[in-house]
């Protein structure tokens, strides 16, 4: 799939694993991975295959790798192959910029949920349709809600452009229940006006009808009117919008409602 919107910044990491491998005498190995996968690998001007790719029997010393992928910018890097070792190359590619005058399209990936027989799957508040295979989603963070009978779980998942993401659910009975299972995330803007909260990095601050609350994405702690508390589900960002546990939002709503009387 050719994606036109620049969505991720190039990052190439070259690591030599200091563990002996079964390579020819005087030779080394290279393992190349890319996000998205399926990139064509050229080494020293020669076609080698597509990622993920393991190359063995390489001469020790400096080599040059170029990675190409339809819809993504080509990337090149120099690597040093060490005799008897595996050098790992991991690259995050950058999508091509949109053509002049073209409307940018949001990059997409897919989600597959395994072990979901009999479960209700909700992503960002939208109920998915079984069998939950290769569901198209925009690249970025999403909120996954799973309900199987009385068991409920909420988690954050990340979808990468042009990449299939698979989530495997725990067997039924292995999921925590009670307060943690019953809580889920909801959009802060649905409960508090945008003008009454601020976002600075991962920190979310609310000043609303006598409520002063501070929490952070990924953290289970918060401070409400100077009193610390603990959350069963950590706040998160979905498409740049803050999502907070529903129990906390209901608490804010009840306190502001009382203050209004």
Reported as a single tens digit per residue, the pLDDT across 60-100 is 899 999 998 887 888 898 999 988 888 888 887 777 776 66
User: Which pLDDT score is estimated for 248?
Assistant: 86
User: Which pLDDT score is estimated for 99?
Assistant: 65
User: Which pLDDT score is estimated for 24?
Assistant: 40
User: Which pLDDT score is estimated for 13?
Assistant: 57
What are 19's two structure tokens? 């563990």
Please tell me the distance from the alpha carbon of residue 67 to that of residue 215, in angstroms, as a whole number: 41
Which residue in this structure is represented by tokens 């100077």?
A: 226
Q: Kindly report the pTM of this predicted structure.
A: 0.39
CB-based contact 83:28 (threshold 8 Å):
yes
Q: Average pLDDT of each block of 10 consecutive residues along the chain (261 residues)?
A: 40 50 63 84 90 88 90 87 86 74 71 85 84 85 81 77 77 42 69 90 89 87 89 76 81 66 42
User: Which pLDDT score is estimated for 19?
Assistant: 40
User: Which pLDDT score is estimated for 45?
Assistant: 87
User: Which pLDDT score is estimated for 154?
Assistant: 73
User: Which pLDDT score is estimated for 1?
Assistant: 41
């Amino acid at each position: 799939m050719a994606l036109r919107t620049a969505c991720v910044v190039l990052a190439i990491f070259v690591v030599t694993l200091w563990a002996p491998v079964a390579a020819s005498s005087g030779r080394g190995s290279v393992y190349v991975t890319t996000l998205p996968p399926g990139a064509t690998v050229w080494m020293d001007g020669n076609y080698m295959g597509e990622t993920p790719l393991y190359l063995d029997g390489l001469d020790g010393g400096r080599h040059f790798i170029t990675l190409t992928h339809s819809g993504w910018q080509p990337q090149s890097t120099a690597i040093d192959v060490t005799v008897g070792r595996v050098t790992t190359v991991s690259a995050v590619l950058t999508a091509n910029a949109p053509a002049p005058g073209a409307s940018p399209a949001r990059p997409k990936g897919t989600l597959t949920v395994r072990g979901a027989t009999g479960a209700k799957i909700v992503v960002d508040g939208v109920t998915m349709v079984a069998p939950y295979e290769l569901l198209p989603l925009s690249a970025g963070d999403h909120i996954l809600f799973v309900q199987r009978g009385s068991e409920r779980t909420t988690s954050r998942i990340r979808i990468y452009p042009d990449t299939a993401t698979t989530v495997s659910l725990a067997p039924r009975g292995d999921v925590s229940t009670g307060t943690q299972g019953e809580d889920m995330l909801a959009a802060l803007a649905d409960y508090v006006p945008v003008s009454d909260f601020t976002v600075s990095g991962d920190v979310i601050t609310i000043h609303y009808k006598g409520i002063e609350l501070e929490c952070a994405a990924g953290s289970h702690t918060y401070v409400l009117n100077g009193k610390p508390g603990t959350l069963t589900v950590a706040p998160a960002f979905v498409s740049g919008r803050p999502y907070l546990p529903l129990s906390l939002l209901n608490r804010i709503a009840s306190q502001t409602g009382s203050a209004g009387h």
